[in-house]
Amino acid sequence: MSTQSHCHSSCVRRRPLLTALAAAGISLAPFGPFARLTRTAGASPSTAPSADPASVLAAESVFFEPTGHTISGTFWQFWQRYGLDAFGFPISEPFEDGSVLNQYFQRARFELSPDGAVRLGLLGVEAGGAEHPPASIAGVDPETLPPGSRLIPESGHTVSGAFLPVYERWQPILGLPIAPERPTGNGYVQYFANARLEWTQENGSQLGLLGTELAFQRGVDTEPAPPPDGVALWSDVVQALVAEEAERRARGSAASGGRGFVPAPGEKWIAVSVARQRITAYEGTKPVLTDLVSTGVAFKGLTSTGIFAINRRVTNEIMDSTTIGYPRGHPKYYRLENVLYTQYYNGGEAIHYAWWHNNFGTPMSFGCVNLRFATARWFWDWATFGTRIVIA
């Protein structure tokens, strides 16, 4: 496998897919929602979108100026899950093929199944990429394969080298491998049921333009169409995404005291400000609940600061100071029953209801974050295992 066998996940390189975005200092990092937008170092801020960012990102139809086509409804919702690097731009309008609604993209074809789900067309199969698995692979124990190779038993083909991390991340998009990896003039290709992976030294791994190729072969109408009334523009979506990411970065940095915390789009996360004695629940950048708390007081034990995640939840428990090193008879010993809605995030530190005082807004605890009853119950219902907690 020569060159590619020495390549690993770092070969999956960032590759700008839209010249205008690259010129504006925005690149498209592989594998993210909307092909995750990132700004090149030193680039100046983009101009604000011409429409309200929130309404743009909530749009149900988007017109793509580069190709002159619109993605709407269920197809748009599905496109957003994997983004531009996975599917490319739309190159046709939706059309009926038999009783199935189809729409072509540069790298894929969407089909609306009778049950309303979106499925991907078998472009790799239709392009003639399928081959019988090599006889030498029959009966091979997957554990004996060299590092960086994976046998896919369902098809009898292996995925290796730089293609393996792409396959493991994009398996729902690619489908099963249907042929071995083959060398080309300047790299390698491998066909999968729904797509074709390509690798070159210059560009790393990317999906081939099978949608474009098959649409041309079949005479699919790819002529640009006028945008429908009231549709959002892709250029506005891009600018709204850039603005939304900047807001998430700023919000996360402020909440974490500059620790580099960046919440994901729509992520549920919790910020605790020790200085302000306040807890705030966020969904993305939107605060959905805030209230006063009591964190650790100096002579008992200060609340740890940092970025944590909920790892244990107890509806009703007894808290005993022997678990934190203060045995019975110690001046700081305590035993508290009926401690409700406890959510641990850092060893013995947790957010929980504190029925034994009403001095919220003042440090009172041994390091935990004390909450009022209604607040503790709300966070119990809203948060879950893995919910991140940022304390600064």
Beta bridge partners of 351: 343, 369
Q: Does 20 share its domain with 165? A: yes
Q: Does 203 share its domain with 330? A: no
Cβ pair 283, 268 in contact under 8 A: yes
- Cα separation, 127 vs 218, in Å, equals 11
Residue predicted with more confidence, 65 or 3:
65
3-state secondary structure of 264: coil
Asked, for residue 206, whether it belongs to a domain, the answer is yes
Distance from the Cα of residue 331 to its chain's centroid: 49
Q: Which pLDDT belongs to residue 142?
A: 67
| Separation of first and last alpha carbons in the chain | 50
Residue 289's pLDDT band, with cuts at 50, 70 and 90, is very high
Q: Does 183 share its domain with 286? A: no
Domain count of the fold of the chain? 2
Q: Does 140 share its domain with 23? A: yes
Residue 325's pLDDT band, with cuts at 50, 70 and 90, is confident
Asked, for residue 147, whether it belongs to a domain, the answer is yes
Asked, for residue 155, whether it belongs to a domain, the answer is yes
Residue 13's pLDDT band, with cuts at 50, 70 and 90, is very low
Q: Does 353 share its domain with 226? A: no
Answer whether residue 306 shows pLDDT above 70.
Answer: yes
Q: Does 296 share its domain with 161? A: no
Cβ pair 28, 36 in contact under 8 A: yes
Q: Does 153 share its domain with 286? A: no
- Cα separation, 220 vs 16, in Å, equals 27
Asked, for residue 244, whether it belongs to a domain, the answer is no
* C-beta pairs of 132-138 under 8 Å, 24+ apart in sequence: 132/156, 133/157, 133/180, 134/180
Q: Which pLDDT belongs to residue 320?
A: 83
- Cα separation, 213 vs 196, in Å, equals 11
Task: Considering only CA atoms, give the Rg of the chain.
Answer: 27
Last residue of a domain, one of 206, 236, 266: 236
Q: Does 151 share its domain with 220? A: yes
Name the residue with tokens 């017109």: 63
Q: What are the DSSP E strand ranges found in 105-218?
A: 109-112, 118-120, 149-152, 157-160, 182-183, 187-191, 196-200, 204-207
Last residue of a domain, one of 236, 267, 285: 236
Answer whether residue 271 shows pLDDT above 80.
Answer: yes
Query: Which residues contact residue 18 at a Cβ distance below 8 angstroms, ignoring those fewer than 6 apart?
Result: 28, 66, 84
Residue 133's pLDDT band, with cuts at 50, 70 and 90, is confident
- Cα separation, 373 vs 18, in Å, equals 52
Asked, for residue 242, whether it belongs to a domain, the answer is no
- Cα separation, 27 vs 341, in Å, equals 44
Last residue of a domain, one of 204, 236, 268: 236
CATH number, domain of 336, equals 2.40.440.10
- Cα separation, 28 vs 238, in Å, equals 11
How would DSSP label each residue in 66-121?
A: TTTEEEEHHHHHHHHHH-HHHH-SB-S--EEETTEEEEEBSS-EEEE-TTS-EEE-
Asked, for residue 50, whether it belongs to a domain, the answer is yes
Q: Does 20 share its domain with 135? A: yes
Asked, for residue 199, whether it belongs to a domain, the answer is yes
What is the share, in percent, of the chain residues with pLDDT greater than 90? 71
Q: Does 365 share its domain with 302? A: yes
- Cα separation, 11 vs 4, in Å, equals 9
Answer whether residue 24 shows pLDDT above 50.
Answer: no
Q: What is this structure's pTM? A: 0.70
Q: Tens digits of per-residue pLDDT, 31-63? A: 333 443 433 333 333 344 456 778 888 899 999
Q: Does 32 share its domain with 98? A: yes
Nearest in space to 160 (alpha carbons), one of 170, 169, 150 = 150
Q: Which pLDDT belongs to residue 160?
A: 93
Q: Does 136 share its domain with 266? A: no
Query: Which residues contact residue 246 at a Cβ distance below 8 angstroms, ignoring those fewer than 6 apart?
Result: 45
Rounded mean pLDDT, 71-94: 96
Asked, for residue 371, whether it belongs to a domain, the answer is yes
How would DSSP label each residue in 320-335?
A: EGGGGT--TTSTT--E
Domain hosting 306: range is 256-391
